[in-house]
Chain A
Amino acid sequence: MQEKLTVKDRRQIWARWGFTHLSSMSYETLQAHAWAYAFIPFAKKFYKDDLEAQRRLMTRHSMFYNTEPQTGQLINGIVTSLEEQIALGEEVSEDMPVNIKATLMGPLAGIGDSIIQGIIVPLLLSIAMGMAVNGSAIGPLFYMISFGIVGPLISYLSFNYGYKLGVNAIDVIVGENAQRITDAFNILGIMVVGGLAASNIYLSTALTIPMGTEVQELQSVMDGIFPRLLPLLMVILSWWLIAKKRMSATKVILILTAIVTVGVLLGVF
């Protein structure tokens, strides 16, 4: 009597969310309404004659929601499989999708943002910036293509993984092994950030050391002992101001501006 979701149906839910997740974002509801929008074809197909069920479906998918939109498709996959079971009359309560969304949006936001905003985006950008030396368009194009592949791929794989595993996917996210994987990823991220610090901060001193009649550039001496020392000092200072002194970003910008201004006026930089 009732068919299950076809691949085309699933892809439509994935795409409707994939395109419009933040389309109506406000601080109060954020990604809420993208859910309702994604399930419109589903509602029409599975609850053709049951208007009350459609109403309940749309209403429970208009509540506040916020997570990382690409890795978060895992939740979309899980909820899709749950809604399918509900529609087919199986023993799943209509509260389940709501609870799943509420429980998982936080952890996935944390993990997803760390992976996407913390590692993948800065990493690909850093590589692309290396290629964009001298104003070459290859740099930006590399980033556009590489993220253009990685982003949708993560989104699609997450959705399908969530759909196939259903509720069991939760164990993968909040289990004990998950913590070890997250910690390992964290280490990877830390090393990448160290590399970013070395390649994206530029500061060198213009000071010179008088040696009899000749003059030696201090920077080239420093480069022989400890390359990129000044950038390292700057990033450690900034980190200390933010992490230990708890200063706002704007204050730190002002402090760095002051240091640079004084340094330039004194001829140090």
Chain B
Amino acid sequence: METSLLLSALLTGIFCYLGAIETPWLFGITGGFYILGRPLVAGLLVGLAFGDVTAGVLCGVAVQGVFIANLSTGGATNSEITYASYGGIGLAMATGGNPAIAVTLAILIGQTFGLIFYNSRMAAYSFWNTKAQKAAEELDYNGITFNHVIGPQITSFLLRAVPVFLAVYYGQPLVDGLLNTIPEVVTHIISVLGGVLPALGIAMLMNIVIKESSHFIFFFAGFVLMAFAGLSMIALVFIAALVAYVVYLASERRGVVTESGGTSAAVFEDDELF
């Protein structure tokens, strides 16, 4: 299925806008950022845009691995996942669909251009915020709607769809040229790196959930269930839920034990008199 680069690049740009964190159209971040904004889904959509779903999904899986633990708190993030997904996978699909290239480009774009455009957009929105504030104070309902929804979304479209389209359409010959001169050793390094980088994301997740050293027992248990016992992820979740429930029950027992511990100590003292 031959599709022109122009159309594919356009679609990639539009999907990037629809998957942005600030997009409202698909029920806010539920359908936007958390679905279309994920590399795995981006892989499917960019694959559709370029007429090769299989290669697209393969790129999506590779990039998703690196971003598996991507976090956005308070609007700040260290790697802009939506620009990374659509820019990286888009350019990779435009130049042959190599997943290792997708990973490299995604990381590069996410950490550099993605962040630049993202922070520019955040700054640009201040303009709309001031006007929305004024509209609220002046009871201008149409003003609130315009400055909260319409104005910002136009800005977002310009800062999301346009750069991604330009990157894919005009970046394609550039990346193509680079790929032809890269020695095989470098592609191998990138390939191995793509498998190792998820460790960073998962380590960041660990940093958040692991609060005391005893928690490592549970981390290792989850690891063992997958690595040694070969369970599926779904099976692991059920077992983890059981363990969590037991921990919940145990945390109640701790309160009871300290009470009865007190009374039995008193009884023991009495016995010692004999």
* Across-interface contacts of A132 in B (CB, < 8 A): 40, 57, 60-61
Select B68's contact among A122, A231, A232, A243, beta carbons within 8 Å.
A122
Chain B: which residue is nearest A237 at the CB level? Answer: B199
Q: Is A163 located at the chain interface by the 8 A CB criterion?
A: no
Give the size of the chain A interface in residues (CB under 8 angstroms): 111
Could you tell me if A194 and B61 are in contact, using CB atoms closer than 8 angstroms? no
* Across-interface contacts of A59 in B (CB, < 8 A): 136-137
* Across-interface contacts of A148 in B (CB, < 8 A): 30-31, 35
Select A33's contact among B23, B139, B144, beta carbons within 8 Å.
B144
Chain B: which residue is nearest A61 at the CB level? Answer: B136
Interface size class of chain B, counting residues whose CB lies under 8 Å from the partner chain = 35 or more
Q: Is A81 located at the chain interface by the 8 A CB criterion?
A: no
Q: Mark B215-258 against chain A: 1 for CB-CB distance below 8 A, else 0.
A: 10011111111111001111011011101110110011000000
Select B195's contact among A27, A201, A227, A253, beta carbons within 8 Å.
A201
* Across-interface contacts of B170 in A (CB, < 8 A): none
| Residues in A74-131 with C-beta less than 8 Å from chain B | 109, 113-114, 116-118, 121-123, 125-130
A152 to B71, CA, bound (A): 20
Could you tell me if A234 and B196 are in contact, using CB atoms closer than 8 angstroms? yes
Could you tell me if A18 and B233 are in contact, using CB atoms closer than 8 angstroms? no
* Across-interface contacts of A191 in B (CB, < 8 A): 218-219, 221-222, 225, 236, 239-240, 243-244
Q: Is A187 located at the chain interface by the 8 A CB criterion?
A: yes
* Across-interface contacts of B205 in A (CB, < 8 A): 118, 122, 193, 196
Take A24-B128, A130-B232, A136-B57 as given contacts and tell me if A260 and B210 are in contact as well, using a CB distance cutoff of 8 Å: no
Take A23-B153, A194-B220, A200-B198 as given contacts and tell me if A40 and B145 are in contact as well, using a CB distance cutoff of 8 Å: yes
Min Cβ gap B14→A in Å is 17
The total of interchain contacts (Cβ-Cβ below 8 angstroms) comes to 359
Take A23-B22, A232-B223 as given contacts and tell me if A30 and B75 are in contact as well, using a CB distance cutoff of 8 Å: yes
Take A24-B148, A190-B219, A239-B206 as given contacts and tell me if A200 and B21 are in contact as well, using a CB distance cutoff of 8 Å: no
Q: Is B73 located at the chain interface by the 8 A CB criterion?
A: yes
Q: Is B29 located at the chain interface by the 8 A CB criterion?
A: yes
Could you tell me if B57 and A185 are in contact, using CB atoms closer than 8 angstroms? no
Q: Is A238 located at the chain interface by the 8 A CB criterion?
A: yes
A23 to B197, CA, bound (A): 31
Q: Is B93 located at the chain interface by the 8 A CB criterion?
A: no
Take A24-B148, A139-B40 as given contacts and tell me if A184 and B251 are in contact as well, using a CB distance cutoff of 8 Å: yes
A44 to B139, CA, bound (A): 11
Could you tell me if B206 and A263 are in contact, using CB atoms closer than 8 angstroms? no
Could you tell me if B236 and A195 are in contact, using CB atoms closer than 8 angstroms? yes
**Shortest 6 CB-CB contacts between residues of A and residues of B:** A194-B222, A202-B195, A135-B54, A238-B203, A198-B226, A191-B222
Residues of A within 8 A of B (CB): 18-30, 32-34, 36-37, 40, 43-44, 51, 54-55, 58-59, 61-62, 66, 69-70, 109, 113-114, 116-118, 121-123, 125-130, 132-137, 139-141, 143-144, 147-148, 151-152, 155, 180-181, 183-203, 227-228, 231-232, 234-235, 237-239, 241-243, 248-250, 252-253, 256-257, 259-261, 263-265, 269
Query: With contacts A109-B73, A147-B35, A242-B204 known, what are 11 further pairs, Cβ within 8 A?
Result: A44-B141, A118-B71, A134-B54, A184-B248, A191-B225, A192-B236, A200-B65, A231-B199, A248-B78, A263-B192, A264-B188
